[in-house]
Structure 1
Amino acid sequence: MDPEISVIFAASRPPGVPQSKLRVKLLEEYNRKTLPSHESNINRIWGLRTEQNPKLYNGSKFRFHSLYTDNTSGEVTFGLGITGYKDFIGTNWADNAAELLESGRRDFSNSQAYMSDALGVGAFVQTADDCVIFIRRSQHVGEAQGLWDIPGGHPEPGEVKGGAARLEDIILTDMTDLDVRNELICSTIREIRDEINIPESELGEPYLIGLAKNNTSSGRPSAEFFVKCTLHSSKVMELYKAGGAEADESTGLKLVPLAEVMSLENTDMWKKMAPSAKGCVKMYTLMIDS
């Protein structure tokens, strides 16, 4: 296994776990534990990062706490809390992240207790002519700048609450578990639409491939989904070049034949891929080989 990623869960059969089998449990107790001695450091780190990149903002995110599988029913349940992008940058990307991980082990027998662990989502998008979509991330995004990645981002509590993006405006008990489950699915489609410029009508139901940790960002988790696109790769490229709502987040698109994706770990491209993309590809190959 590539040291940059750790697979938490991989679907047992293609195309993955359907929406009907996904569940969410949203609880305040799943929020990040606060460490008083580190809170001022979060503000310091955020100030430095926003000075370097004024486009960053402290939007609300869902915090990954746990994942449970029911082998009998086939259901997969995400245990989620609430967090913010500032806390994510100030914990998972902190200069003393190793100390935070050790403090979590010491205080709660859980290395992630003090981490934001903002849940990401990504999509393994397969075109009608069996190519897989990768984008090169731009230099002004928050992480993995300049690397090849899959379309992705974050499910947003603000989307569930009708546009209330700020963390302080989010009340956890105002959101139902079903609404949050639906946002996991909708955010995946939304990211493909906005980053690649593919209409939602050309995208099939997302199936959960699995969940992996990004070890370069202190175990930050990302849920990866398989999505079938009805368009051929040439049309996808045409739409991408026309530009979508988030066209500034990438600088290039590559369409890799599915057969080549299955052996990407042995290529130079793998060395230039974001951990989230590596995790997605790895879980897809595990699913196909199972």
Structure 2
Amino acid sequence: MDPEVSVLLHCGPWKGLREKQVRVELSDKFNRRKFPGLERCIEEVWTERVTSEPWLFNGAKFRLHSVTLMTELPSNTNVVGDIARDAVEEEAENPVKDVHDQVGHIKGQEPVQGEKEERTGVSPLRGKANEDPSQRVSKKGCGVDTCSCNVQKMEILHRDLGLYPHTKAGTLAAHPNSNRARDADSCTQIFTPTCCYSERNTAVKKDTVLTMQLGLTCYKDFLGTNWSKNVKELMREGEIQFGNPESFLAQPLGVGAVLQTVDKHVVFLRRSQKVAEAPGLLDIPGGHPEPKAVCRGVSEESIQVEQLPEEAVVRELFSSVQTEIKDEVNIPLSCLSEPILMGIALNHTSAGRPSAEFYVSCSLTSKEVKKLYWEGGPEASESTDIIFLNKEEVLKLEKSALLWSELCPSAKGAVLLYHLVRPDLD
């Protein structure tokens, strides 16, 4: 719809996800890749920026590596739809030798450092000539007699959609560097049944729907990679070396909120001309979840993933968007609803930087919110005006609308997700 933004993942089937439906997996293996020449360039960029803007500081951020969407379907459910059938027919002439060997390492996904596949009772699928692949049987499955999903068909489908099987049965995962993963309709219309995929992360909670694989990064790395004048070369090198153009990028995870008042108006803020990114454009309240909020008493440069409890990180992910609303719009936390995660959007003006977009309702009217905004909050200097659009106007916002060109990429991504998810519907 717009070259500046795309949707990596949306939570439409659930009308958005609550905090209890989300978990994170933290590991150093989800950090960006490094090499000496790049590190020198990052240091040079940072030194130059701090010299001209001495108020800058290098804050720690969470790095989004990938996301995993878990689906619950009966074990005898088959993959359906023309996409699946077409993919199988297209691949029939060149069948995959052993799909289970490729689980978690399909083209477009960076093999995780130090990762080892653990297979439990999986039979290699090396069918005979002229054998119908849909009739292949796994003699040692994971609790079922027949691998009803036909693993080869599944792998082809995932590769075609820009999705890949990741952690356990019934799982789809989207990698931020996949163009096809940005087709939101494809991501939600195609689900995987139970099959004999590798069993890892067995401690996943029963009600978990979405898992984010997170590492650590920082603002300095973001300026030196995603905002680097050589970012295209970095992405090309990442693709060559690791099959993932984002391998060398910081990819800090942001948060944003479609904030709706009790009288059905959505809040937009006019960004200050003094901010570094998208000055003067309309934005939504937002910022970043902060590792330092989870790991208090430790300097930002010293924070390690081992010090970050996963449940506390999820809590920070959801609470940080409320904090941003409080600081930017000056609305008390007591007036804000529980955030609902609509999905993840990508900002292509900063090399596909990801942002988790939420829906938050407010118990105040637009008039009351406007009054609080002009009284000023802790981050009032980041914006110069507040604008309200009624819900119907927001739902009609599209690329052809005059106001669309005034939205910054993060606001565009949030609006697209709001169109797709509609978390305010009963």
TM-score with structure 2 setting the length: 0.66
Tell me if 1:126 matches 2:271: no
8 Å Cα contact 1:138-1:248 kept in structure 2: yes
Note the C-alpha offset of 1:42.
1.0
Match of 2:320 in 1: 187
Match of 1:8 in 2: 8
Distance 1:140 1:132, change over 3 A: same
Task: Give 2:341's match in structure 1, choosing from 183, 208, 215.
Answer: 208
Match of 1:86 in 2: 220
SS in 2 for 1:61: strand
* Aligned partner letter, 2:279: Q
Match of 1:48 in 2: 48
Alpha-carbon distance in 2 for matches of 1:40, 1:138? 32
8 Å Cα contact 1:159-1:165 kept in structure 2: no
Alpha-carbon distance in 1 for matches of 2:383, 2:416? 22
8 Å Cα contact 2:23-2:208 kept in structure 1: no
8 Å Cα contact 1:15-1:226 kept in structure 2: no
8 Å Cα contact 2:20-2:208 kept in structure 1: no
Match of 1:17 in 2: 17
Alpha-carbon distance in 2 for matches of 1:126, 1:162? 32
Tell me if 1:27 matches 2:27: yes
CA offsets 1:117-168 (integer angstroms, 9 cap, x no match): 01000001010000001111113323222211100000000011125452x2
8 Å Cα contact 2:269-2:383 kept in structure 1: yes
Q: Aligned ranges for residues 33-72 of structure 1 at < 5 Å? A: 33-72=33-72
Match of 2:351 in 1: 218
Alpha-carbon distance in 1 for matches of 2:327, 2:359? 17
Task: Give 1:275's match in structure 2, choosing from 394, 402, 409.
Answer: 409
Distance 1:220 1:263, change over 3 A: same
8 Å Cα contact 2:41-2:224 kept in structure 1: yes
Match of 1:101 in 2: 235
Distance 1:145 1:50, change over 3 A: farther
SS in 1 for 2:334: helix
Alpha-carbon distance in 2 for matches of 1:61, 1:165? 13
Structure 2 gap ranges (5+): 73-206
Structure 1 gap ranges (5+): none
Note the C-alpha offset of 1:247.
0.5
Task: Give 2:374's match in structure 1, choosing from 241, 251, 263.
Answer: 241
Judging by fraction of residues, say which structure has more strand: 1
* Aligned partner letter, 1:256: L
Tell me if 1:252 matches 2:385: yes
* Aligned partner letter, 1:138: S
* Aligned partner letter, 1:54: P
8 Å Cα contact 1:56-1:142 kept in structure 2: no
Match of 1:160 in 2: 294
Size of the aligned set, in residue pairs, is 289
CA offsets 1:243-263 (integer angstroms, 9 cap, x no match): 001101111110111100011
Alpha-carbon distance in 2 for matches of 1:79, 1:221? 13
Note the C-alpha offset of 1:13.
4.2
Note the C-alpha offset of 1:81.
0.4
Alpha-carbon distance in 2 for matches of 1:231, 1:165? 37
Note the C-alpha offset of 1:54.
3.2
Note the C-alpha offset of 1:288.
3.2
Alpha-carbon distance in 2 for matches of 1:230, 1:141? 30
Alpha-carbon distance in 2 for matches of 1:150, 1:54? 27
Note the C-alpha offset of 1:267.
2.1
SS in 2 for 1:142: coil
Tell me if 1:175 matches 2:308: yes
Alpha-carbon distance in 1 for matches of 2:384, 2:298? 29
Note the C-alpha offset of 1:20.
1.1
Q: Which moved more, 1:241-250 or 1:64-73?
A: 64-73
Match of 2:363 in 1: 230
CA RMSD of aligned residues (A): 1.6
SS in 2 for 1:264: coil
Q: Which moved more, 1:135-144 or 1:105-114?
A: 135-144
